[in-house]
Amino acid sequence: MAAVRVLSHLGSSGVFALPPDLAGEVELVPVPTRGDLDPALRGEVLVTLPWEVETLAETLRRGVRWVHVTGTGVDAFPLQLIGEGVVLTNSRGASAVPISEWVLATMLAFEKRLPESWETRSPEDWRRGQLRDLGTLAGKRLALVGLGDIGSATATRALAFDMQVRALRRRDRPSPVPEVETVRSLAALLDGADHVVLAAPLTPETRGLIGRDAFGAMKPGVHLVNVARGALVDQDALRAALDDGTVSMASLDAVDPEPLPEGHWLYTHSKVRLSPHLSWSAPGALELLAQMFIENLRRFVAGEPLQHVVDLDAGY
């Protein structure tokens, strides 16, 4: 039986090396991301990047029946290129643990006023320094926009801190985390929330979801956390909400565009904590992304159904 040919846009990265059990059944063929392709190039599988590459359309015409995107979001991937009968999968859930930990870290930092509560010199009154008005997560309401792998992992950790967790779901289905209350409207989600966490995919329906109306539904002093995509937020509306006190702090790991241009107001606003889309980072993070592809590759070779299939109509 001929080996399954896997076309790869990932270059010579050792992270996606084939394990011994697949070495005799799979042939890994590097494919350039730009320029002309070998006319004889053929393959059943394509592992590619979560954004468009120059040779993508041409590579897909070389017999590909399954495409795997090495990331969670596919909003930058040209879904219209996926032809009939071709399956698209991604590595959703691979980064849920580190991202959810990052969310909890930002919420704790907000409540405990870190790092601004740290001392760099002896205060005039040390006791006064100990009696700062610090907050707590216990009893606070967390509003999750999205209850997929990242949202669920965040909810589980928030519940351990005795938070009240409510989540917005696109589909009418039970919560994967039983203690989480689900709602179907954004207004119901935001009502009374202390922390609002964005963990939803970017689709035409969610672009600009957190805008003037959404901020109008939030209570003053809310903490906004974005670990999804910057375009979920109307950044002009966010600036107004920060300035009028509706949003007390915005912890942003995703902005639009990325990277922000030099001099952008988000770099210097006193109520913004900005990080360069690194909440997914953890020891072995890249290896875990690769492992999800390898597990699906075993299924493909064995003729079994693939996991983490992207709904092309929904966009995630």
Percent of the chain clearing pLDDT 70 (strictly above): 96
For the chain, the structural domain boundaries read 4-94+284-302, 96-274
Nearest to 71 by CA among 55, 88, 54, 85: 88
Q: State pLDDT tens for residues 181-200.
A: 999 999 999 999 999 999 99
Mean pLDDT of 212-216: 98
Domain 4-94+284-302, CATH number (from 3.30.470.10, 3.40.50.720, 3.10.560.10, 2.130.10.10): 3.40.50.720
Fold: same for 4-94+284-302 and 96-274:
yes
Q: Is the pLDDT of residue 262 over 80?
A: yes
pLDDT of residue 251: 98
Other C-beta atoms closer than 10 Å to the C-beta of 1 total 5
CA distance 270 to 287: 37
Q: Is the pLDDT of residue 310 over 70?
A: yes
Mean pLDDT of 264-274: 98
Nearest to 5 by CA among 41, 29, 30: 29
Q: Is the pLDDT of residue 40 over 70?
A: yes
pLDDT of residue 253: 98
Mean pLDDT of 49-63: 93
Mean pLDDT of 208-224: 98
Average pLDDT value for the chain: 93
Calculate the alpha carbon distances from 96 to 55, 148, 238, 282 in Å: 30, 9, 26, 11
Q: State pLDDT tens for residues 123-143.
A: 777 766 555 689 999 999 999
Which amino acids are annotated catalytic?
Answer: 229, 258, 277
Reduced to 3 states (helix: H, G, I; strand: E, B; else coil), residue 218 is coil
The CATH number assigned to the domain with range 96-274 reads 3.40.50.720
Whether the predicted model's global pTM rises above the 0.75 cut: yes
pLDDT of residue 315: 92
pLDDT of residue 15: 64
pLDDT of residue 14: 58
Question: Is the pLDDT higher at 126 or at 92?
Answer: 92
At residue 50 the predicted structure's pLDDT band, cuts being 50, 70 and 90, is: confident
pLDDT of residue 13: 57
